[in-house]
Amino acid sequence: MNSIPQLPLASWIDSFVDWLVQFTGFFNAITNFIGGINNAFQWVFDIIPIWLFIILILGLTFYVNRKDQRWSLLIFEFLGLLLIWNLDFWRDMTQTLTLVLTSSLIALVIGIPLGILMAKSHIAEVILKPILDFMQTMPAFVYLIPAVALFGIGMVPGIVASVIFAMPPTVRMTNMGIREVPAELIEAADSYGSTEWQKLFKVELPIAKTSLMAGVNQSMMLSLSMVVIASMIGAMGLGTKVYFAVGRNDAGGGFAAGLAIVILAIILDRLTQSLTRDHKG
Amino acid sequence: MSIKVEVKNLTKIFGKHVGRAKELIKQGKSKPEILKETGATVGVDQANFEIEDGEIFVIMGLSGSGKSTLVRMINRLIEPTDGEVLIDGENLMKMDKKKLRDVRRKKMSMVFQNFGLLPNRTIIENAEYGLEIQGVEKEERRKRAKTALEQVGITGYDDEYPDQLSGGMQQRVGLARALANDPQILLMDEAFSALDPLNRTDMQDQLLDIQESLKKTIIFISHDLNEALKLGDHIMIMRDGEVIQTGTPEDILTHPANDYVEEFIENVDRSKVLTAGNVMIRPVTINVDKAGPRLTLKRMKNNEVSTAYVVDNKRKLIGIVDANDVIGLVRHDSSDLRSVVKEDVPTTNEETPISELMDDISQTGIPFAVTNDKGQLKGIIVRGAVLGALAGNEVSEFE
């Protein structure tokens, strides 16, 4: 083995990242754009009083489950949010929520069209599949390094890393959902003279909706799992609390913040799952 | 009748080396030979047929016979490898996407085996789908969809979802969706095959009723010969991608093109489809205007019968005579054959299905006389011939 020189893989990637860094203008624009979305969410969450926020969450849960009400969930949400308030994690929770919502939103906006493309084109599927596998299996920490180089520190690189890590399920499930639309329905759409767009919006996407929403749900959970990691590069929120607790060997503080993440995760999960089941189709 | 749809040499080859396979097919090579030589599968092998305006044309075959591929080539859901489809003389194969879409929207609608209803849409939304994608105003398309639903007997389910309806009702909605477009041609791919027998019969009757009033050209795919015989004005039988026989139901039943078709029709409940005209035989007839008792007796002896049918110069049925009575006339030296004619003869016409005559024939044993609307004797039906026909034996022909 010694006779074969070591491949300079690391330095290749370094020079690639160095090369990317010269497009400062481009990355600044992205930073500003993502930062803008993030700040908008945060601004809204900051002006809503806590009691109103809790009522809004409960109301939303009530609404999406209107056909099949789940009281235990409402009680859980009420008590859970009160606990977060009581532990003085409210602002951290909204920061984390902002990060999750922003990265999920971006993952959807990019992921769903990619999923559609993958379902429609065999070539796209062949190309995208290994890339998605790569994105999902590469340890998420690794994304932080170039993210910092390109987007600085703070919320934005955290969001970028989360998007990369969280997007694959949305793409995959969109692709799968569309491919699994029964052939007869596609034939029906075609035989009545639908255009490709009509077929997509009136038949394929509505029928793929359940699968698509399952992908959204997974993406959201994955981006939530990134919050502690993202806190290492300065993304604020509950993750920061956990990260600091690790540094101070503060088990109590760590668990308390971790519990708040769990509560947030359960609320987000149940809400998106209810959207999946939301009335017919 | 004008020709609505004309199909010329329509061929579909699946797999690789399609070009080579196409050449081989033109040289008349068989399906297995082509598969062996090129690896390509012949789905439909040079189908040729014409469909008249306003008829129900049934394409029949077992699974794998290529009938579903064939019907999908008529609206180009499956792109043909070769051949032409002419609709009102216009070649569908030469149309660009936009033109084809227009034909699909306005001229042809399809009904599917498993209904093909969109599960996320209500019944009325499903029925109006074809109109919706044409950009018809909501109010207008609701109205037309409602009319179509009424035509098939679905009212009061507008806001239900397909999975809340039974199979029979779902297929009615499928039919309504097709009718809402007011197409000239309906393509029905095994449309009733997924239904239980009772529902199927119902839907068949309903389709015939609808056809009676709307006069669409219907291309109906089926694997059930009974269904084909009931619905079809013409039937085309396919096997392994090839057209075996095309004809009226009667043609198919009485002159099966080969053993395959014969085997097929053995399973048919013949009493429903065979008419008096199919099973009648030639009787011994006496022309009362020409023949006297002696000649009558001689003919009866020659033909070894004890009764003969009596007609006049115009072959109009008068009745039957019994040999004993004729002998009596000869003994008394009378020449008035008419005096012994029994006019009380059971008669029927050529169109009557023999299922309606079965009881009477088997109970009385008296042959039925078959007459046309002018009262002329066309033939008679005897018990033996009926049973023979039901058993699938060659039907004696009456010239």
pLDDT score, position B29: 79
- Interface check B306 vs A, CB under 8 A: no
* A2 domain-assigned: no
Cβ <8 Å between A192 and B109: yes
Per-residue pLDDT at B270: 66
Among all residues of chain A, which has the CA nearest to that of B164? Answer: A280
Counting one residue from chain A and one from chain B, the pairs whose CB atoms sit within 8 A come to: 68
Work out the average pLDDT over A166-185. 94
Tokens (6 digits) for A46: 């900051």
Q: What is the DSSP letter of B162?
A: G
Q: Does B200 touch chain A (CB under 8 A)?
A: no
pLDDT of residue B274: 73
Nearest Cβ partner for B133 among A193, A206, A207? A193
What integer pLDDT is reported at residue B392 of this predicted model?
56
Region B285-297 average pLDDT: 84
Q: Which residues of B touch A182 (CB under 8 A)?
A: 114
List Cβ neighbours of A77 (8 Å cut-off, separation of 6 or more).
A54, A57, A58, A61, A267
**Is residue B199 scored above 70 in pLDDT?**
yes
Q: Which residues contact B95 (CB under 8 A, 6 or more apart)?
A: B103
Q: Which candidate in B120, B126, B188 is best for mutational testing of the A interface (most A CBs within 10 A)?
A: B120
Q: Residues B330-362: pLDDT tens digits?
A: 888 888 888 888 888 888 888 787 777 777 776
State the CATH class of domain B276-390: alpha beta
Instruction: Confirm whether A33 is domain-assigned.
Output: yes
Q: Coil, strand, or helix at residue B366?
A: coil
CB contact under 8 A, A192 and B120: no
Q: For A272-281, B59-68, B129-138, B369-378, which range has the lowest pLDDT when averaged over its residues?
A: A272-281
Q: Which residues of B touch A188 (CB under 8 A)?
A: 110, 112, 116-118, 129
pLDDT at B399 over 50: no
Instruction: Write out residues 114-133 of B within 8 Å (CB-CB) of A.
Output: 114-121, 129-130, 132-133
The answer to whether A207 contacts B120, with C-beta atoms less than 8 Å apart, is yes
Nearest CA in chain B to A197: B133
Specify the pairing of strand B217-222 against strand B56-60: parallel
Q: Mean pLDDT across chain A, nearest whole number? A: 90
pLDDT (0 to 100) of residue B370: 87
Cβ-based neighbours of B331, under 8 Å, separated by 6 or more: none
Bridge partners for B8 per DSSP: B84
DSSP B196: -
Reading phi first (left if > 0) and then psi (alpha if -120 to 50, else beta), residue B280 is in: beta
Residue A1 lies inside a defined structural domain of this protein: no
Q: ∠A61-A65-A68 over CA atoms, to 5°? A: 145
Residue B131 reports pLDDT greater than 80: yes
| Residue of chain B minimizing CA distance to A185 | B116
> Is A202's Cβ below 8 Å from some Cβ in B?
yes
Question: How many whole angstroms separate alpha carbon B151 and alpha carbon B140?
Answer: 17
Contacts of B298 (CB under 8 A, 6+ apart): none
Complex-level ipTM: 0.77
3-class DSSP assignment, residue B282:
coil
Average pLDDT over residues B240-269: 84
Q: Containing H/E element for A48?
A: none
Contact A194/B at CB under 8 A: yes
Contact call for B118 and A185, based on CB within 8 A: yes
Q: CB B133 to CB A184 under 8 A?
A: no
> How far is Cα B136 from Cα A197, in angstroms, rounded to an integer?
17
Is 60 exceeded by the pLDDT of residue B228? Answer: yes
Task: Say yes or no: B77 contacts chain A, CB-CB below 8 A.
Answer: yes
Q: Quote the pLDDT of residue B391.
A: 59
Q: What is the pLDDT of residue B271?
A: 65
CB contact under 8 A, A192 and B104: yes
Q: What is the pLDDT of residues B2-43, one digit of tens each?
A: 889 999 999 998 888 888 888 888 887 778 888 888 888 888
Tell me: the pLDDT tens digits for A133-170?
Answer: 998 888 888 888 888 888 888 899 999 999 999 999 99
Question: Cβ contact (<8 Å) for A193 and B112?
Answer: no
Q: Do A187 and B108 touch (CB under 8 A)?
A: no
Alpha carbon distances (Å) from B308 to A109, A113, B23, B144, B325: 91, 86, 63, 62, 11
Q: Which domain holds residue A188?
A: 9-277
Gap from A198 CA to chain B (nearest CA, Å): 7
- Exposure on the CB side of residue A156, measured as CA atoms within 13 A: 20
Give the model confidence (pLDDT) of A37-63 as tens digits.
999 999 999 999 999 999 999 999 988
A124 within domain boundaries: yes
**Alpha-carbon dihedral angle through residues A44, A47, A49, A53, given to the nearest 10 degrees:** 0
Order of strands, sheet of B368-371, starting from the edge strand that comes earlier in the sequence? B347-349, B368-371, B377-381
* CATH of region B3-107+183-268, choose from 3.40.50.300, 3.30.460.80, 3.30.420.40, 3.10.20.30: 3.40.50.300
DSSP string, B121-133: S-HHHHHTHHHHH
Query: How many domains is chain A built from?
Result: 1
Instruction: Give A 217-276 residues with CB within 8 A of chain B.
Output: none
Cβ of A202 and B132 within 8 Å?
Answer: yes
Q: Of A187, A207, A209, which is closest to B112 when you measure between CB atoms?
A: A187
Sheet of strand B234-239: strand arrangement: B108-111, B185-189, B217-222, B56-60, B234-239, B242-247
Q: Does A139 touch chain B (CB under 8 A)?
A: no
User: What residue segments make up the domains of chain B, in order of their start?
Assistant: 3-107+183-268, 276-390
* A207 contacts B110? CB cut-off 8 A: no
Which residue from A114, A110, A199, A104 is spatially nearest to A159, judged by alpha carbons?
Answer: A104
Report pLDDT for A119.
94
Residue B397 has pLDDT above 50, yes or no: no
In sequence order, the β-bridge partners of residue B310 are B286, B319
Residue B173 banded pLDDT, cuts 50, 70, 90: very high
Average the pLDDT over A205-209 and give the result: 93
- pLDDT score of A234 more than 70: yes
Give the rounded percent of residues in chain B with a pLDDT score beyond 90: 37
- Domain membership of residue A4 (yes or no) is no
Residue A200 identity (one-letter amino acid): L
Task: Find the closest chain A residue to B71 by CA distance.
Answer: A191
Question: What CATH number corresponds to the domain at position A161?
Answer: 1.10.3720.10
E-strand stretches of B180-316: 185-189, 217-222, 234-239, 242-247, 285-287, 307-311
What proportion of chain B, given as a percentage, has pLDDT over 70? Answer: 93
Q: Which of A186, A192, A204, A211 has the highest number of chain B CBs within 10 A, making it the mutation to test binding with B?
A: A192
Assess A68–B contact: CB distance below 8 Å, yes or no.
Answer: no
Helix orientation angle between A50-64 and A71-86, rounded to the nearest 10 degrees: 160
